[in-house]
Amino acid sequence: MKVKVSKAIFSDIMGTSKRVVESWIKSGKILSVHDSDTDIEYILEDSLKKIEELDFLFNDYWDEFSQISPARNYKIIELFAGCGGLALGLESAGFESVLVNEIDTDASKTLKLNRPNWNVINKDVSEVSFLKFHNKVDMISGGFPCQAFSYAGNKLGFDDTRGTLFYEFARAVKEVNPKVFVAENVKGLSSHDDGRTLETIRSVIKELGYELVAEEVLKAIFYKVPQKRERLILVAVRNDLAPYVRYAYPPKFKQVFTVSDALKSGRLYNQDVPQSTGQSYPERKEEIMSLIPQGGYWRDLPDDLQREYMKGSYHLGGGKTGVARRLSWEEPSLTLTCAPAQKQTERCHPVETRPLTVREYARIQTFPDSWEFCGSQTSQYKQIGNAVPVNLGHAIGMSLIKLLNDIYISDMKTELPIIENNGQIRFRV
């Protein structure tokens, strides 16, 4: 079967605009064909094969990767767990949770409802001691909120982060001394506070006695997630282990899934999305949104309606492509936010003139239909919008299982010393 990639998905894979892709087609750099039945333009396979970044479409590395299983029982602590996207993904990869921390009450209730066997701690992380887990946990994970740090004296060390949630994440690592830790965050962390935030994080990782072995922004579309979400993933290995292993990010899946895959029975789910509650538009907004085509936004409206809807923003310039945005069946969803009907981040259903429902939100984040959410409708949207996509968490988890398996094999081959945080050396027993 020939590989088919639409022009829209091709632009997502390449990380460029549709306008640029159109210029490549016009110049003959890539060749395309229009499917009259679907009204979709596809890039020809011969053109796809010539692009190195698209090798994953033709060489299936995923099948072998998906066969990875834990060499032993790996225990994990997760901080800032939210409603469980990352935790669920790591569980499906083979990790055993020993503690899950989340300060939000509704999100904690969601975790407890779906996983009554998990040790869910609904507290401010600053109130949680991790000392009893010292040398008893393989990995710590979590997505700490991004905050500016102190730079007094430009020490760029552990104390510079005091008062921030990264400080608490680092404290947990210091108290537990896990083999590995993984931190995920928004793509913008790379440039936050002119790059100083990430610079400080790197310094603290080194100060804790760990080597940062991976620092990369992953696109969720490459990992069976029908959404254009990007997350910065940091992986660190304890210094006494780092020389013996190498970390590799998960390989890309050979297909890119779309909103249709998320909401309809098919490649991702074996049934259409269940009905659920959801927000609605005011009458006038619904009238205006009804005129937006699939994949379109406010610039697809008549000029008089553009002016009415955008008001003063009409004259400010810029694309503002999230405003009055209707999703397309044939593309991955835009990144979900905490609410689907906010003017700057519209997420309108592809054919029905309404915001996405709670269950549709969950599908796009690749939660199973069995995963229930607690709290008000507003709270449920917020929980889901803030989550790590489950399938992305699973892919990252599989790569970390491979890393820990390699550490385990190294342990079996040689008696490696453990360097404690106080500088003392001991040997494994």
Tell which residue, 9, 8, 7, 19, has the closest CA to residue 254: 9
What CATH topology corresponds to 64-255+389-427?
Answer: Rossmann fold (3.40.50)
On whether the CB atoms of residues 233 and 172 are closer than 8 A, the answer is no
Residue 153 banded pLDDT, cuts 50, 70, 90: very low
| pTM of this structure | 0.92
For residue range 58-92, list pLDDT tens digits in order. Answer: 988 899 999 999 999 999 999 999 999 999 999 99
Residue-range domain boundaries for the chain: 5-59, 64-255+389-427, 259-386
Q: Which CATH class is domain 259-386?
A: alpha beta
Give the residue numbers annotated as catalytic, written as ranges.
146
- The helix (run of H) or strand (run of E) holding residue 183 is strand 180-186
Q: Residue 132 carries which DSSP code?
A: G
Please tell me the distance from the alpha carbon of residue 99 to that of residue 78, in angstroms, as a whole number.
6
The lowest-confidence range among 60-64, 101-105, 159-163 is 159-163
Torsion, CA 102, CA 375, CA 351, CA 286, rounded to 10:
-120
Angle at 305 between CA 302 and CA 309, to 5 degrees: 140
DSSP conformation letters of 13-77: HHT--HHHHHHHHHHTSS-EEEETTTTEEEE-HHHHHT-GGGGGGTS--HHHHTT---SS-EEEE
Please tell me the distance from the alpha carbon of residue 19 to that of residue 420, in angstroms, as a whole number.
54
On whether the CB atoms of residues 233 and 218 are closer than 8 A, the answer is yes
For residue range 23-42, list pLDDT tens digits in order. Answer: 999 999 999 999 888 889 99
Please tell me the distance from the alpha carbon of residue 164 to that of residue 189, in angstroms, as a whole number.
14
Let me know if domain 5-59 sits in CATH 1.20.1410: no
